[in-house]
């Protein structure tokens, strides 16, 4: 049983930097999203990219999730080994080795694969035929993020061609999330984005059904848009990920409050060279740098929110140093511990081999981020 405090040194706070997860907050976040899904009679299939830990995925399923979402075959393998038995790889699986590994997994769990092109679907079909099995697939639609996914205007035709391929069972369509642009910049209007993406996807699914394709699932992602998308008649599933922990970006987006954020990074002041600067051991290998300060539309100040020091700004991160700009009156000194809500928790957790779960009884459990480093 370990105790972490904000000042002075105990055995755990001596070992900064590390990620500490408040289990009470996490459990509440898991429950609230399950209730949103339940209320709207849609399935919940959380993306586990945020935590990458089978035990947390099992918690999500225990309180109502139908199954889980992953981005890679290797992550699916870790989750299957960890007892999860209904897994959607929401990513184009398009090289032969990856398809073969996925097919092996298909014998062990219910597996759904993403597809977004005819070439990709043909390769899947061909490998599945060789193995003499049918693979369940969903077609990805790009509703504005311009990453993967077929464009909406081409989706119905592509679905038709995929549905004719042998050894594939096209059961649904999916998207990550829609965007609302203003002067070509993404806005924070997530309510509008959620409804828009929902309506667009349902409309596409209906057009596909009218053309004779049997589709069950209309699946939409994204923590900040999920609760709006779930309300749209015809949407059958939501796939939020970040909600399990939430983070500073989600708070800024209005998807949660800072109080809902279950994850903090603990770091130690290693130097206070001037009155305006405290340098901490939380660095670019501790905090993800993908959500940069100042960048629109979020415009976050610094790389994280420092709890109890509202005027401190985590201005710079280099490989081994984090630079906290401080008010001169701030008495943070060498050896003091700070707690920081990171800008983007998913990519931050991904930097750590282990995280620490802090329970209501004050016990702390070290847990392996089992699917970290699984690259394909």
User: Pairing mode, if any, of strands 364-368 and 354-358?
Assistant: antiparallel
Q: How far apart are CA 196 and CA 34, in angstroms?
A: 22
For the CB of residue 147, give the shortest distance to its own copies in the complex, in Å.
4
Q: Which is nearer to its own copies, 117 or 171 (CB)?
A: 117
CB of 245 to its own copies, least distance (A): 14
Nearer to its own copies, 238 or 288 (CB): 288
Which residues contact its own copies by CB under 8 A? 9, 11, 14-18, 49, 71-72, 91-92, 94-98, 116-117, 119-120, 123, 142, 145-151, 268, 270-274, 277, 279, 281, 284-286, 288-290, 292, 317-321, 323, 333-335, 346-347, 350-353, 372-373, 375-376
- Residue 12 or 109: the one with the smaller Cβ distance to its own copies is 12
Chain-centroid distance, C-alpha 351: 14
Torsion of CA 294, 298, 302, 303, to 10 degrees: -120
C-beta of 117 vs 207, nearer to its own copies: 117
To its own copies, the closest distance from the beta carbon of 12 in angstroms equals 9
Q: Please, are residues 136 and 125 in contact by the beta-carbon 8 Å criterion?
A: no
Q: Least distance from C-beta 231 to its own copies, angstroms?
A: 26
Q: How far is the CB of 122 from its own copies (least distance, A)?
A: 10
Q: Alpha-carbon distance 25 to 29, whole Å?
A: 6
Q: Which is nearer to its own copies, 232 or 349 (CB)?
A: 349
* CB 88, min distance to its own copies, A: 13
Whole-angstrom CA distances from 271 to 100, 264, 280, 322, 373 are 52, 21, 7, 10, 31
Is the Cβ–Cβ distance between 68 and 60 less than 8 Å? yes
Copy the structure tokens of residue 206: 């209906």
Closer of 104 and 145 to its own copies (Cβ) = 145
Strand 86-92 and strand 304-306: the pairing is unpaired
- Residue 35 or 376 with smaller CB distance to its own copies: 376
Kindly state the helix (H) or strand (E) to which residue 269 belongs, with its residue range. strand 263-274
Element (H, E) at 44: strand 43-44
| Shortest distance (Å) from residue 290 CB to its own copies | 4
Helix 73-81 vs helix 96-106: crossing angle, to nearest 10: 20
């Amino acid at each position: 049983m370990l105790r972490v405090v904000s000042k002075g040194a105990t055995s755990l706070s001596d070992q900064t930097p590390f990620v500490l997860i408040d289990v009470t907050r996490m459990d509440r976040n898991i429950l609230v999203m399950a209730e949103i899904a339940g209320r709207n009679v849609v399935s919940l299939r959380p993306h586990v990219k945020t935590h990458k830990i089978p035990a947390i995925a099992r918690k999500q399923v225990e309180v109502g999730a139908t199954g889980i979402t992953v981005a890679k075959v290797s992550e699916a393998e870790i989750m299957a080994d960890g007892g999860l038995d209904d897994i959607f790889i929401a990513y184009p699986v398009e090289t032969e080795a990856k398809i073969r590994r996925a097919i092996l997994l298909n014998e062990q769990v219910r597996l759904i694969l993403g597809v977004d092109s005819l070439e990709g679907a043909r390769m899947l079909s061909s490998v599945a035929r060789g193995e003499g099995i049918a693979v369940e697939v969903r077609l990805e639609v790009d509703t504005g993020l311009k990453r993967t996914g077929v464009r909406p205007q081409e989706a119905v035709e592509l679905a038709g061609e995929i549905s004719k391929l042998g050894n594939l069972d096209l059961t649904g369509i999916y998207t990550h999330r829609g965007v609302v642009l203003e002067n070509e910049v993404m806005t924070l209007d997530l309510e509008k984005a959620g409804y828009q993406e929902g309506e667009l996807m349902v409309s596409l699914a209906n057009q596909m059904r009218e053309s004779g394709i049997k589709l069950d699932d209309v699946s939409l992602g994204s923590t900040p848009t999920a609760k709006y998308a779930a309300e749209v008649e015809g949407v059958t599933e939501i796939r939020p990920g970040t909600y399990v922990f939430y983070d500073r970006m989600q708070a800024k987006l209005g998807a949660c409050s800072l109080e809902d954020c279950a994850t903090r990074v603990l770091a130690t002041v290693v130097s206070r060279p001037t009155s305006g600067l405290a340098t901490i051991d939380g660095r670019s290998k501790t905090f993800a740098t993908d959500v940069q300060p100042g960048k629109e539309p979020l415009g976050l100040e610094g790389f994280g929110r420092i709890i109890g020091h509202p005027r401190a700004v985590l201005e710079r991160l280099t490989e081994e140093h984090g630079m906290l700009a401080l008010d001169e009156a701030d008495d943070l000194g060498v050896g003091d511990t700070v707690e920081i809500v990171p800008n983007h928790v998913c990519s931050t957790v991904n930097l750590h081999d282990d995280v620490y779960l802090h329970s209501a009884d004050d016990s702390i459990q070290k847990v392996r981020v089992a699917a970290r480093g699984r690259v394909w």
